[in-house]
């Protein structure tokens, strides 16, 4: 490897480990100007599982000791569960190692503040993987809003609907536990929506950042079976789980929000939205136009311009659309995984250039402030100012 190759240490090798490893593997072929990145060391707890994953994900070696890894690599990816985001990321930053951390930044506002402070002190790139900012149609939408096509923003609606927990027997996981995750649909899905709205309308006339919220959390199923393994034995006869564990986070949230410059909005997310698989939708209405986006149709943007009679469906796959020229000709659509390639391209570029990456830990902290306000509003039943 030439000495300007970035050695990557990656903590986590399941869902997000696969998504980011796939992205790193795609970069040389589709983004030849991306910095060279070597999948050096894969970090986890279980050596056997690590060994298998390292082979599949293309890593040279494994380690069960993240403390040894964080100052031994050029870039540290923290793709672990939420309760593992803070300590390894702060240790890496204190060692001067750039960090790319999955969302949400942390479980709590305090934890997020500590991570953002460590990033500010370190002066190296500290990115948070809000991958939906890197969808071509979302970039196109943001440019339209910035160009004033929608006029003054009045209404903003963000929903993130999934249904993977509708079955009460769907197994318990760390995402159901307050100590491990911080919150449920609010932090897992709501974090994406809050960041996306900040990205789309944070600088827009009439909007700005979210300032006041009235939030509501709901848990529909309060215990779930623990899948087989050391804790959750299965009954020899029925095969049913013999252990159930409490669900201590929200299954769904909703919030009314006010933006700094007057726009109003509604947010919601659920893991119980029967029939919706990964429906992250944004709707924005302004004084001279409107737009609608749906992650399940992520190459399209529904746009209403001032002089048109109705919404038009724009297929955002032209060479001049962001990132598209790296892939295929018009109409040869991209998918969910391509957003990870785009965000890795930008993050590694910032590391190689000694620049900064957006969204940063400061953006992650701004999201955490809104999540915290929604939780405080749910507790008090009152409108709450975002800190
Ligand atoms: C599960 O809800 C999940 O994988 C989220 O954790 C991701 O952030 C989202 O992109 C897809 O759904």
Task: Give the start-to-end residue ranges of the domains of the chain.
Answer: 6-131, 132-330+361-385
* Closest atom of ligand 1 relative to the 132 alpha carbon: 10
- Residue 235's pLDDT is 67
Q: Is 360 left (phi over 0), alpha (psi -120 to 50) or beta?
A: beta
Distance 61 CA to ligand 1 centre (A): 27
Quick one: pLDDT at residue 241?
Answer: 67
* Residue 354 main-chain phi, psi, to 5 deg: 65, 25
Domains 6-131 and 132-330+361-385 belong to one CATH topology: no
pLDDT, tens digit, for every residue of 180-196?
999 999 999 999 999 99
Burial 138-163 (b: 16+ CB within 10 A, else e): bbbbbebbeeebbbebbebbbbbbbb
At residue 3, the pLDDT reads 64
The mean pLDDT value for 112-123 works out to 98
DSSP 56-74: HHT-SEEES-HHHHTTTSS
pLDDT recorded at residue 328: 97
pLDDT of residue 227: 78
pLDDT at 370 over 60: yes
pLDDT number for residue 231: 47
Fold of 6-131: Rossmann fold (3.40.50)
Does the pLDDT at position 228 exceed 90? no
CA of 189 to the centre of ligand 1 (A): 6
Counting from 1 in the atom list of ligand 1, the atom nearest the Cα of 131 is 10
What is the atom index within ligand 1 of the atom nearest the CA of 164?
2
**Separation of alpha carbons 12 and 307, rounded Å:** 50
pLDDT over 70 for what percent of the chain?
Answer: 96
CB distance 188 to ligand 1 below 6 Å: yes
Atom 9 of ligand 1, residue of closest alpha carbon: 189
Q: Is residue 2 pLDDT above 60, yes or no?
A: no
Question: For the segment 286-340, what is each residue's pLDDT rounded down to a tens digit?
Answer: 999 999 999 999 999 999 999 999 999 999 999 999 999 999 999 999 999 999 9
Statement: residue 130 has pLDDT above 70? yes
**Is 173 buried (19+), middle (13-18) or exposed (0-12) by CB count in 10 A?**
middle
Q: Check whether 177 has a pLDDT greater than 70.
A: yes
CATH fold, domain 132-330+361-385, is Dihydrodipicolinate Reductase; domain 2 (3.30.360)
As a whole number, the mean pLDDT across the chain is 96
Peptide bond into 359 cis (omega under 30): yes
Pocket test for ligand 1, best of 162, 188, 278, 364 (most atoms within 8 A of CB): 188
Place of tokens 């050029």: 74
pLDDT band at 208 (very low <50, low <70, confident <90, very high): very high
**Residue 232: is its pLDDT beyond 80?**
no
Given a cut of 70, whether residue 346 has pLDDT beyond it is yes
pLDDT at 233: 59
């Amino acid at each position: 490897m030439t000495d300007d190759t970035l050695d990557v240490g990656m903590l986590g090798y399941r869902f997000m480990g696969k998504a980011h490893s796939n992205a790193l593997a795609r970069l040389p072929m589709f983004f030849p100007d991306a910095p060279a990145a070597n999948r050096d060391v894969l970090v986890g707890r279980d050596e056997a599982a690590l060994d298998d994953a390292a082979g599949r994900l293309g890593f040279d070696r494994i380690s069960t000791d993240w403390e040894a890894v964080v100052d031994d690599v050029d870039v540290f990816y923290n793709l672990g569960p939420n309760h593992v985001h803070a300590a390894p990321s702060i240790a890496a930053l204190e060692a001067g190692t750039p960090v790319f951390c999955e969302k949400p930044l942390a479980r709590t506002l305090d934890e997020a503040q500590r991570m953002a402070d460590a990033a500010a002190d370190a002066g190296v790139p500290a990115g948070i993987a809000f991958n939906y900012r890197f969808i071509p149609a979302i970039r196109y939408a943001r440019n339209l809003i910035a160009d004033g096509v929608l006029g003054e923003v009045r209404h903003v609606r963000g929903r993130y609907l999934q249904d993977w927990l509708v079955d009460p027997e769907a197994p318990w996981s760390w995402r159901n536990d307050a100590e491990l995750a911080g919150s449920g649909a609010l932090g897992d899905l709501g974090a994406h929506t809050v960041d996306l709205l900040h990205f789309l309308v944070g600088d827009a006339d009439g909007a700005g950042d979210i300032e006041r919220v009235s939030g509501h959390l709901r848990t529909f199923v309060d215990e779930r079976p623990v899948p087989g393994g050391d804790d959750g034995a299965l009954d020899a006869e029925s095969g049913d789980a013999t252990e159930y564990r409490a669900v201590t986070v929200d299954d769904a949230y909703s919030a009314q929000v006010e933006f700094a410059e007057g726009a109003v909005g509604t947010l919601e997310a659920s893991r119980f939205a029967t029939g919706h698989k990964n429906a992250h939708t944004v709707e924005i209405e302004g004084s001279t136009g409107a737009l609608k986006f749906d992650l399940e149709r992520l190459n399209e943007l529904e746009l209403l311009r001032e002089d048109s009679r109705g919404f038009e469906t724009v297929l955002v796959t032209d060479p001049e659309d962001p990132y598209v020229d790296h892939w295929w000709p018009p109409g040869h659509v991209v998918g969910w995984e391509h957003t990870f390639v785009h965000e890795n391209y930008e993050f590694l570029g910032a590391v190689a250039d000694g620049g900064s990456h957006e969204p940063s830990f400061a953006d992650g902290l701004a999201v955490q402030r809104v999540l915290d306000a929604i939780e405080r509003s749910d507790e008090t039943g009152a409108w709450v100012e975002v800190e």
